Amino acid sequence: MSSVILITLLAQTLRIATPLIFAALGGIFSEKSGVVNIGLEGMMIIGAFFSVYGSYITGSPLMGIVFGVVAGGVLALIHAVLSIHLRADQVISGTAINLFSTALASFLIFKLFGKGGQTDIVKGLSYNIPDAITNIPLIGKFISELNWFVILAIILVFVSHYVLYKTPLGLRIRAVGEHPKAADTLGINVYKIRYFCVILSGMLAGLGGAALSLGITPLYREGMVAGRGFIALAAVIFGNWKPFGALGASLLFAFGSAFNIFAQGLSWNLPTEVYDVIPYVLTMLALAGFVGKTTGPIASGKPYEKGSR
């Protein structure tokens, strides 16, 4: 295998992994604070659609990203209100968010673009790097095959790790997710932290959606997200609820797909479906304790009721 092919394969892996990394980081923040977020899929859908719409009306992909992130955050706010204040079952609320956003995106394609199924092609985020870098052997080629989202995703993994494990805020988030009552007695506002984390998770998932639409093909098509939100959820679990773990899991899952595309050029390819199930099977095995050991935040999924025993 020549090094050029290897580099293409790696760059491809990173590009496929990027939306997953964003959404998985979102999932980590939400789950660390004790709110299960099944709605990642829906938030990615809304992020993907609104980033396209933002780029469509403003003509600027950067504004598109802002639209996508805000839309994801607003949707997450609904999930937050439902599951934190109204104490709805978080899984049900997430399911409703998924159904709602799929329907809303399709409705808005009809309403705002006047057609069904998919939007117009809009301006994607251009990725121009100076020749000085492109000309570096191997690394230059590798970098030129990425996009800004990839770089941002990797930076955000470091930032998330730092925030979660090295700052007081991160300590509070983890305390709220592990033992909300103890955190409350110490004067931490459990609801505030949870709201913050859920909204942040929606914004990150929205960014993941934007990375999927503006970063790859700059349009939104129905069914485009295709379960990536759930793969991101799998990456959260397989990565043991840690940013670097999620990065690794996303890369592993994405490598499956990238290798699949790559292997189709060779004669010894396995069926696509085999690559498709890898993330899901690995996650189930990991959860069952066969591969590695994963333990989630203890209070995850439980609404916190002030003053309850």
Give the pair of three-digit tokens for residue 207: 């960014």
| In the complex, minimum distance from the CB of residue 228 to another protein, in angstroms, rounded to a whole number | 11
Please answer whether residues 37 and 168 qualify as being in contact, where contact means their C-beta atoms are separated by less than 8 angstroms. no
Among 80, 153, 183, 234, binds another protein (CB under 8 A): 234
Measure Cα distances from 245 to 5, 161, 261, 271, 292 in Å: 26, 10, 25, 28, 11
Dist. CA 186–CA 173, nearest whole Å:
13
Give the pair of three-digit tokens for residue 197: 């984390």
**Nearest CA to 204 among 159, 248, 249?**
159
| In the complex, minimum distance from the CB of residue 95 to another protein, in angstroms, rounded to a whole number | 6
Among 59, 87, 133, 134, binds another protein (CB under 8 A): 87
Using CB under 8 A as the binding rule, whether residue 162 contacts another protein is answered as no
Q: Which is nearer to another protein, 92 or 159 (CB)?
A: 92
Dist. CA 232–CA 238, nearest whole Å:
10
Residue at token pair 């399709």: 106
Strands (E), the chain: none
Among 58, 95, 217, 269, binds another protein (CB under 8 A): 95
Radius of gyration of the chain (CA): 20
Using CB under 8 A as the binding rule, whether residue 271 contacts another protein is answered as yes
Among 19, 147, 283, 297, binds another protein (CB under 8 A): 283
Coil/strand/helix, residue 221: strand
Using CB under 8 A as the binding rule, whether residue 57 contacts another protein is answered as no
Query: Of the ranges 16-24, 43-51, 179-187, 233-241, which one interacts with another protein (CB under 8 A)?
Result: 233-241
Using CB under 8 A as the binding rule, whether residue 137 contacts another protein is answered as no
| In the complex, minimum distance from the CB of residue 279 to another protein, in angstroms, rounded to a whole number | 8
Give me the 10-29 binding string for another protein, x by CB under 8 A, dash otherwise: --------------------
Among 4, 5, 6, 86, binds another protein (CB under 8 A): 86
Number of H helices and number of E strands within the chain? 13, 0
Please answer whether residues 12 and 261 qualify as being in contact, where contact means their C-beta atoms are separated by less than 8 angstroms. yes
Give the pair of three-digit tokens for residue 109: 């394609």
Coil/strand/helix, residue 61: helix
Using CB under 8 A as the binding rule, whether residue 52 contacts another protein is answered as no
Among 110, 158, 165, 244, binds another protein (CB under 8 A): 110
- Which residues contribute to the site for another protein (CB under 8 A)? 36, 38, 78, 82, 86-89, 91-93, 95-100, 102-104, 106-107, 110-111, 116, 223, 226-227, 230, 233-234, 237, 271, 273-274, 276-277, 280-281, 283-284, 287-289, 301
